[in-house]
């Protein structure tokens, strides 16, 4: 209120130098603001009709902002813009351009399907000259039958589906301990069965460490044909693009070169910034984090490995996969048809964080 009365004194001094028209408008503006303050609220709230008053005053009087106290001039401008948007939304509420007859739409689609090489100009001429049906080319373009051109080879999704049993996918995820040490968890998954083949963790991962993990995975005769991985720098990315190997093949990283020449495995790096190209292991990483890792405060690498090992055992042998509607590598008692009667017992996993439900023997 002190600020307002100070403003009134300054206005009284300046009023003598203004024209009668400006004086009347400024007097009207000040009276309106006095009425707003008279409502007794700590922060005055303008009613819709009061907002309309200031919007109209801003269009009629050039000095309206000098008499404004209750709100900022930018607020009144925003009210004006909002009113303009509402007005034009009201003006354009109609349905727009009327729809052409259904038989014309069917005819355009028929001609487009029977002649996929024809464009909208050719179809427009055909309809106008021979059939007496006249429409703009933009209208005809709207109803053309779009056909996808056949690709030269199979898509990535088809490739993964056809070779899922021969594909392993690898990926890293990180976990911070209570002492702020970053631990990197390395996961190997068999894509076909969603089985986690191996999981390990370290605080200092490197290419040689990754190679050792792959040697251990393939030591028991489970050698995949393809290994899908991302473009992590740990895999030894070549700075100069793809480098040729001894067999005149190009490789994006040192891991792929080692896989081909030593292990007899074809490495398949996914495109850059495209984690959705390896969705199965990415989904497992999310499951591991939300169902296990996020519920513990870890003290060491050994602690993380203990939790991951118990969760992977449950994931492989007792947790139904929503994608396969089956268990990746079920326990022997779960491979037979389940019993329909009997007491249901809950076996705790990770100290009761998860429960494994079975029929009691």
pLDDT tens for each residue of 222-276: 899 999 999 999 999 887 656 665 666 788 899 999 999 999 999 999 998 888 9
The residue range of the domain holding 122 is 102-142
The span from the CA of 330 to the CA of 346, in Å, is 17
175 and 274 housed in the same domain: yes
Confirm whether 153 is domain-assigned. Answer: no
Which residues touch 142 (CB under 8 Å, ≥6 apart)? Answer: none
236 and 303 housed in the same domain: yes
Confirm whether 116 is domain-assigned. Answer: yes
pLDDT at 321 over 80: yes
| % of the chain with per-residue pLDDT over 90 | 46
Q: What is the pLDDT of residue 31?
A: 66
The span from the CA of 239 to the CA of 253, in Å, is 9
Higher pLDDT, 38 or 334: 334
CA angle 123/126/127 to nearest 5° reads 85
Higher pLDDT, 291 or 35: 291
108 and 83 housed in the same domain: no
The span from the CA of 310 to the CA of 288, in Å, is 11
pLDDT at 55 over 60: yes
The span from the CA of 159 to the CA of 174, in Å, is 29
For the chain, what is the mean pLDDT?
A: 84
Work out the pLDDT band at 323, boundaries 50, 70, 90.
confident
> Could you tell me the pTM of the whole model?
0.60
Work out the pLDDT band at 201, boundaries 50, 70, 90.
very high
236 and 192 housed in the same domain: yes
pLDDT at 198 over 80: yes
| % of the chain with per-residue pLDDT over 70 | 81
pLDDT at 301 over 90: yes
Tell me whether residue 141 is exposed, middle or buried, using C-beta atoms within 10 angstroms of its C-beta: 0 to 12, 13 to 18, 19 or more: middle
227 and 198 housed in the same domain: yes
Total domain count for the chain?
3
The span from the CA of 82 to the CA of 151, in Å, is 49
Confirm whether 96 is domain-assigned. Answer: no
Work out the pLDDT band at 36, boundaries 50, 70, 90.
low
Higher pLDDT, 306 or 148: 306
Give one word for 264, left, alpha or beta, with left for phi > 0 and alpha for psi -120 to 50: left
Work out the pLDDT band at 81, boundaries 50, 70, 90.
confident
Confirm whether 291 is domain-assigned. Answer: yes
169 and 288 housed in the same domain: yes
Q: What is the pLDDT of residue 245?
A: 58
pLDDT at 220 over 70: yes
The span from the CA of 48 to the CA of 59, in Å, is 17
Confirm whether 224 is domain-assigned. Answer: yes
Q: Give pLDDT tens digits for 112-162.
A: 988 888 888 889 988 888 888 889 888 888 889 876 655 666 789 899 999
Highest mean pLDDT among 30-34, 264-268, 334-338: 264-268
Confirm whether 34 is domain-assigned. Answer: yes
Q: What is the pLDDT of residue 14?
A: 60
176 and 324 housed in the same domain: yes
Tell me whether residue 5 is exposed, middle or buried, using C-beta atoms within 10 angstroms of its C-beta: 0 to 12, 13 to 18, 19 or more: exposed
**Pairing state of beta strands 226-229 and 167-176?**
parallel
Q: Which of 29, 86, 38 is nearest to 58 (CA)?
A: 29
Higher pLDDT, 129 or 348: 348
Confirm whether 82 is domain-assigned. Answer: yes
Confirm whether 154 is domain-assigned. Answer: no
118 and 202 housed in the same domain: no
């Amino acid at each position: 209120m002190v600020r307002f009365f100070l403003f009134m004194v300054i206005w009284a001094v300046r009023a003598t130098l203004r024209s009668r028209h400006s004086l009347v408008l400024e007097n009207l503006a000040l009276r309106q603001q006095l009425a707003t303050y008279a409502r007794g609220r700590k922060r005055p709230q303008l009613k819709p009709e009061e907002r309309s008053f200031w919007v109209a005053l801003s269009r009629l009087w050039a000095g309206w902002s000098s008499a404004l106290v209750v709100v900022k001039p930018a607020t009144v401008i925003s009210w004006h813009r909002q009113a303009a948007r509402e007005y034009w939304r009201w003006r354009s509420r109609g349905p727009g351009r009327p729809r052409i007859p259904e038989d014309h739409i069917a005819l355009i689609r028929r001609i487009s399907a029977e002649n996929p090489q024809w464009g909208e100009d050719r179809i427009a001429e055909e309809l106008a000259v021979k059939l007496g049906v006249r429409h703009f080319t933009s209208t005809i373009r709207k109803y053309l039958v779009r056909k996808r051109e056949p690709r030269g080879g199979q898509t990535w999704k088809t490739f993964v589906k056809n070779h899922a049993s021969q594909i392993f996918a690898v990926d890293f995820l990180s976990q911070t301990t209570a002492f702020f040490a970053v631990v990197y968890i390395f996961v190997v998954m068999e894509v076909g069965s969603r089985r986690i083949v191996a999981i390990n963790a370290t605080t200092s991962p490197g290419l040689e460490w990754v190679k050792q993990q792959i040697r251990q995975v393939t030591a028991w005769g489970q050698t995949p044909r393809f290994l899908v991985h991302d473009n992590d720098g740990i895999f030894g990315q070549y700075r100069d693009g793809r480098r040729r190997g001894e067999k005149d093949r190009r490789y994006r990283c040192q891991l792929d070169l080692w896989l081909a020449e030593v292990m007899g495995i074809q490495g398949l790096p996914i495109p850059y910034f495209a984690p959705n190209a390896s969705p199965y292991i990415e989904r497992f990483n999310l499951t591991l984090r939300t169902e296990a890792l996020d519920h513990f405060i870890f003290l060491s690498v050994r602690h993380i490995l203990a939790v991951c090992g118990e969760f992977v055992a449950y994931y492989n042998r007792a947790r139904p996969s929503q994608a396969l509607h089956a268990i990746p590598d079920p326990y022997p008692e779960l491979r037979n048809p389940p019993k329909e009667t009997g007491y249901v017992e809950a076996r705790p996993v990770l100290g009761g964080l998860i429960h494994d439900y079975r029929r009691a023997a």
